[in-house]
Structures are given as C-alpha cells and as structure tokens.
Amino acid sequence: MRDHDRVVAVCERCDSVYAAKELMNGTIRPIGTAVCSCGSENFRPLR
C-alpha cells in the first residue's frame, strides 16, 4: 500500500502555504491540521 505524497499546499481562499500530503483520493490535507487558519478546507498543490 502506497503512502501519501508530500506536497506544498496553498489555501484557495487566503493563499497561505502549508506542508501537506496528498491523499490517494486526491485530497490535499495540511500536515498537523485539518483546515487553514482562515477556516477553508480547500487547498491546491504548489508544484
């Protein structure tokens, strides 16, 4: 079973940058927190 990939995530609402992981379903999730400090759960990968 493959582990998730490390990515850099950018919040789609406030552009905060987080170290994150990409889950196998494609969800980007910041490491150590479920949501951004602005409350958004939507992130895009920075590649």
Chain contacts with Zn ion (rule: CB under 5 A) = 11, 13-14, 16, 36, 38, 40
User: Closest approach of Cβ 24 to Zn ion, in Å?
Assistant: 24
43-46 β-sheet, strand order:
28-30, 17-22, 5-11, 43-46
Least distance CB 10 / Zn ion (angstroms)? 9
User: Cβ closer to Zn ion: 24 or 37?
Assistant: 37
> CA-CA distance, 13 to 21, in Å (whole number)?
18
Nearer to Zn ion, 14 or 19 (CB): 14
